[in-house]
Amino acid sequence: MLFNSVSYLVFLPFVTIILFLVPGKFQWLWILASSTVFYYMLLPQYLVVFFALIPLNYYLGLRIGNAGMNKQKVFNIALVINLVVLALFKYSGILDSLFDSILSHPRSDTFWRIILPIGLSYFIFTILSYLIELKRGTIPPEKHIGIFAAYLMFFPKILQGPIERPGKIIQQFRGDKHFDYDRIVEGLKIMLWGYFKKLVVADRLAIYVNAVYGNADQHNGSTLSVATFFYAFQIYADFSGYTDIAIGSAKIMGFELTNNFKRPYFSTSIKEFWNRWHISFSSWLRDYLFLPLAYYFSGKMKDEKYLGIETEKWIFLFSSLITFAICGIWHGEGMNFLVWGLLFGFYLSYSNWTAGISKNLRKIFHISKKSAYYTAYKIILTFLLVCIAFVFFRANDLDDAFIILRKIVLSRGEIFIGEWQQFIFGICGIIILIAAEAIQEFSKVTLPYKSRFWLKEQFVYLSLLFLIIFIGVFDGGQFIYFKF
């Protein structure tokens, strides 16, 4: 079942009530059972994959924890196994094409035409995080296979993250979960905000974006610009909406998950953007890919200038490009995803390489970094750079992406509105979202919203609820990041 289905609103309270009734030392069992049922209702045939990986990695984790000198060897084996499983499912399309070209005729069997099980990527990233931390010795191996399984299968996060670090979350499955009114209300409020983002903002904007991007060659640059702008908010609202529902659901049950988004469109640089967007994934990339790569290159390169540029800058460039290339490839097998990733690598490297020049220019023109105008300029510039990258992310393929960008730059005309009502709802959703996030960003107000006046607080949430009932899209389908 999906988070945005009525069945989930029945499933969650039922699971929570039983959880509180089950004795503390068996609660992991109930979590595991309900998570299994949750996934079973989505893709039952792929439960086999998850339940094969759990004991395998449990065993490998114990071996890594107790391996002594052979730790690296066991870790390498574990890493390869998990990555091969992920690659097999994720890139079966490429393997399929490869087989067809080798055999010189298309086959009718479906061995390689495997659908990626929803959540497998996040599942395996969580496992890899566990294995890496074990190897580094920052955590001990989990000896209780049931708790290990519950940690991996935990239904609020299995489909789309957050990718939880083992040190933060595994112990939570040992604690006794009990009823706490304030915690449950807070969880419900976070979920409500998540549903608003998904149903009112994301799914509403999706109607326009799909109509335009699905017929990109029929639309002018002005329309494509609007659609790209809408898409930036669609994908953010969709993904962060899911995260809020996940965090709220977990909180209701007594678990704390990592906040995955921190108002990314108020970032003043691409570096800051990636500290605020899909935080659990970007920190995963930083800690397990970027930093090890940087360390590796720093060992290989001499501490001198190459082509007049310091070594650190070259290390940053290579590490960024490789990390974000992998990030792009993870999102999809098309060249457009690779370019999307490389673009961010390039943005970061450019910023890193020109940091000194920027600082000098600010000095020359007496521009304070804290000035409101400068901050606004940086926010808008960062947002525009992100939107350009999103063209590659959303387009069907690389050719389409370049056609769209060329049109955005060169072609102008009347903006396609489609159905006025949809357009107005979309704009209203964006305005409310920006306003709510701006309040959080520039004041001390945090979500969930709290007020000294109870009635005032309730009216805020009632307003959200009725906005969902009145202009939410109830049959908008699954979340975007499921397919990754």
Told to check if 429 binds another protein by CB under 8 A, we report no
Would you list the DSSP string of 289-317? IIHHHHHHHHHHS-SS-BTTB-HHHHHHH
Least CB distance to another protein at residue 178 (A) = 12
Region binding another protein by CB under 8 A among candidate stretches 276-284, 345-353, 378-386, 470-478: 470-478
Question: Does residue 360 belong to the site contacting another protein (CB under 8 A)?
Answer: no
- 317 vs 471 by CB, closer to another protein: 471
Minimum distance from CB of 388 to another protein (Å)?
26
128 vs 207, which CB is nearer to another protein? 207
Q: Which of residues 162-191 bind another protein (CB under 8 A)?
A: 181
Find out whether 256 and 172 touch, Cβ atoms under 8 Å: yes
Site string for another protein, 385-424 (x = CB under 8 A): -----------------------------------xxx-x
Query: Is residue 474 involved in binding another protein (CB under 8 A)?
Result: yes
The least CB distance from residue 428 to another protein, in Å, is 10
Query: What number of chain residues touch another protein (CB under 8 A)?
Result: 23
Residue type, 119: G
CB of 185 to another protein, least distance (A): 9
- Fill in the per-residue mask, 33 to 52: x = in contact with another protein (CB under 8 A), - = not in contact: --------------------
Distance CA 279, CA 408 (A): 30
What is the residue-wise DSSP string for 242-291? HHHHHHHHHHHHT-------S-GGG-SSHHHHHHHSSHHHHHHHIIIIIH
Shortest separation between residue 472's beta carbon and another protein, angstroms: 7
- At closest approach, how far in Å is the CB of 195 from another protein? 14
Separation CA 228–CA 390 (nearest Å): 7
Q: Binding another protein by CB under 8 A: which of 159, 466, 478, 479?
A: 466
Nearer to another protein, 176 or 419 (CB): 419
Site string for another protein, 446-465 (x = CB under 8 A): --------x---x---x--x
User: What is each CA distance from 460 to 248, 252, 253, 259, 452, in whole angstroms?
Assistant: 17, 20, 24, 22, 13
End-to-end Cα spacing for the chain? 18
In the complex with another protein, the residue whose CB is nearer, 7 or 396, is 7
470 lies in the binding site for another protein (CB under 8 A): yes
Write down the residue that tokens 């549903």 correspond to: 195
Residue 83's CB is within 10 A of a number of other CB atoms, namely 13
**Token pair 């953007």 in the structure block, residue:** 273
Rounded least distance, CB 425 to another protein, Å: 7
Comparing CB distances to another protein, the nearer of 5 and 222 is: 5
Question: Peptide bond preceding 448: is omega within 30 degrees of 0, i.e. cis?
Answer: yes
The residues, ordered by sequence, that sit 6+ positions from 99 with a Cβ below 8 Å of its Cβ are: 107, 112
Q: How many CB atoms lie within 10 A of CB 335?
A: 15
For another protein, which residue of 162, 194, 341, 472 counts as binding (CB under 8 A)? 472
Q: Judged by CB, which is closer to another protein: 294, or 430?
A: 430
Q: Is the CB of 22 or the CB of 428 nearer to another protein?
A: 428
Examine residue 425 and tell whether it contacts another protein (CB under 8 A): yes
Which helix (DSSP H) or strand (DSSP E) does residue 381 occupy? helix 372-394
Q: Is 218 in the site for another protein (CB under 8 A)?
A: yes
Identity of the residue, 373 or 454, whose beta carbon is nearer to another protein in the bound complex: 454
Rounded Cα–Cα distance for residues 292 and 286 (Å): 9
Burial of 340 (0-12, 13-18, 19+ CB in 10 A): buried
- Of 104-112, 210-218, 370-378, 401-409, the segment contacting another protein by CB under 8 A is 210-218
Select 422 or 440, whichever has its Cβ closest to another protein. 422
Cβ atoms of 382 and 273 within 8 Å: the answer is yes
Does residue 365 touch another protein according to CB under 8 A? Answer: no
Q: Torsion angle of alpha carbons 361, 363, 368, 373, nearest 10°?
A: -30
| Element at 349 (helix H, strand E) | helix 335-353
Rounded Cα distance, 240 and 161, in Å: 11
Nearest alpha-carbon partner for 468 in 190, 248, 200: 200
Could you give the CA distance from residue 110 to residue 219 in angstroms, rounded to a whole number? 37
From the CB of 270, what's the least distance to another protein, in Å?
36
Residues interacting with another protein, by CB under 8 A?
Answer: 6-7, 181, 215, 217-218, 420-422, 424-425, 454, 458, 462, 465-466, 469-475
